[in-house]
Structure 1
């Protein structure tokens, strides 16, 4: 067995944790399982990350602010955002892992932070009018509803629907919230 550096061990643990949390969720993934997949010792998992919860938070990152979508004019945002969201398996895996672990206070707070800083805040900053905050929050709720129906509940009709139709219809719904009466 080749001896790894501390940084290599840490990265192997993070990689193993990411895989298992996405596949099994937070509750069904143990520190021992992570250590076994990383070919490491459970004590090293805790030494590098402090706790299973902290490792989860480190491994499960969800951001869209590095996406070009936030540069899309508000009048075109709806369909483009839904299309991007549905095409990204990484978003699905992280979203499901976070939802599955949301009974843990720090994970629930991470979901809240993602909601506020990754979607609501950047969108609100691009909107005008006295109801910009409400429109951004309603848009986030609509997106959350779609993700819940598809990925948590597994609504068979929606899962089987033509993705282009979902993008068109859900995109139009999202767009109506963002730009009612054509205003940004």
Structure 2
């Protein structure tokens, strides 16, 4: 049982340091020091620093709120969920982006993109061009997260962000005509 407890201590220490510093600036010896163990034990439990990173950097977003709204409201709801998802999601996203030069980490980022952004949206769409629309939507959301979390563009953080970016996403998902009043012109 002591091995499992030590493994959990290493995992917790690594998760904390990877979130704070990123992959490249986190050394195995620092993880070991925080977990009060040896670097050799860290490697024995996890194999490599990259495998430990992949073990600790999990990103999930509860997609339940995405399924609870009508398709016509999905764009705004999706943006709201993404930008209010919490610091843990932001930290994991940043750690993955910063470590994406490593092939396995890049693959994890691609997998998260597919499972967290693409799959929940794809489940809601129909039509011959649904795959293209959902991939464009993923790129749009990814660009927002990059601007907010990587670049740190605080000027995007006004009260209109969710509504305005949600409208952009909605246009990509369902097309601009889906939100136009019949017989009216678009503002």
Q: Specify the SS of the correspondent of 1:126.
A: coil
Q: Distance in 2 between matches of 1:156 and 1:125?
A: 32
Tell me how large the CA RMSD over aligned residues is.
Answer: 1.5
- Corresponding residue number in structure 2 for 1:26: 23
Match of 1:10 in 2: 7
The CA distance in 1 between the partners of 2:151 and 2:27, in whole Å, is 24
Residues 1:103 and 2:98 aligned together: no
Partner residue of 1:86?
83
The whole-number CA distance in structure 2 between the counterparts of 1:129 and 1:67 is 22
- Find 2:64's aligned residue among 48, 61, 68: 68
Shift of 1:166: 0.9
Where 2:26 maps in the other structure, the secondary structure is coil
The alignment status of 1:167 with 2:165, answered yes or no, reads no
Cα deviation per residue 1:13-61 (whole Å; 9 max; x = unaligned)?
A: 1111111111100000000111111111111111111100000001000
Distance in 2, matches of 1:112 and 1:156, equals: 26
Q: Deviations over 1:82-110 (max 9, x none)?
A: 11211121210110000000000000011
Consecutive unaligned residues in structure 2, runs of 5 or more:
180-187
**CA deviation after TM superposition for structure 1 residue 122, in Å:** 2.8
1:133-148 → structure 2 map (5 Å cutoff): 133-148=131-146
Q: In structure 2, what is the Cα distance between the partners aligned to 1:22 and 1:29?
A: 9
Structure 1: 4+ residue segments shifted above 3 A: none
Deviation at 1:120, TM superposition (A): 1.0
